[in-house]
C-alpha cells in the first residue's frame, strides 16, 4: 500500500441529489458525521507530520486547502 496524503476529494461522496430528499434532522446528522470525519482526517494528518519530525503548525495553507471540500 502506498503512503501519501489523503485528500478530501479522495474520500468524499457526491451527495447533492440525495441531499434534497433529506429532512432537517437527517441533514444535521449528515453534517455532523462529515465534520467528525474531517476532524479525524486532520488529526491523522497532524499525527503523521509529528511522526515525520515536522511541525504541523508551520504547514502552509496549501496542505490544509487540499483537505477542504471543493479543492
CA separation, residue 22 to residues 29, 30, 56 (Å): 10, 9, 37
- Structural contact between residues 55 and 63, judged by C-beta atoms closer than 8 angstroms: no
Segment 25-56, tens digit of pLDDT = 999 998 898 889 888 888 887 888 888 888 77
User: Is the pTM above the cut of 0.75?
Assistant: no
In the predicted model, what is the mean pLDDT of residues 8-26? 80
Query: How far apart are alpha carbons 67 and 69 in whole angstroms?
Result: 7
How would you classify residue 33: left for phi > 0, otherwise alpha for psi between -120 and 50, otherwise beta? alpha
Mean pLDDT, all residues of the chain: 75
Amino acid at each position: 500500500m502506498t503512503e501519501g496524503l489523503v485528500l478530501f476529494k479522495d474520500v468524499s461522496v457526491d451527495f447533492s441529489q440525495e441531499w434534497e430528499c433529506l429532512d432537517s434532522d437527517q441533514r444535521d446528522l449528515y453534517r455532523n458525521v462529515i465534520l467528525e470525519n474531517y476532524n479525524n482526517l486532520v488529526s491523522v494528518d497532524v499525527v503523521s507530520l509529528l511522526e515525520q519530525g515536522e511541525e504541523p503548525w508551520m504547514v502552509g495553507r496549501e496542505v490544509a486547502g487540499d483537505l477542504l471540500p471543493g479543492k
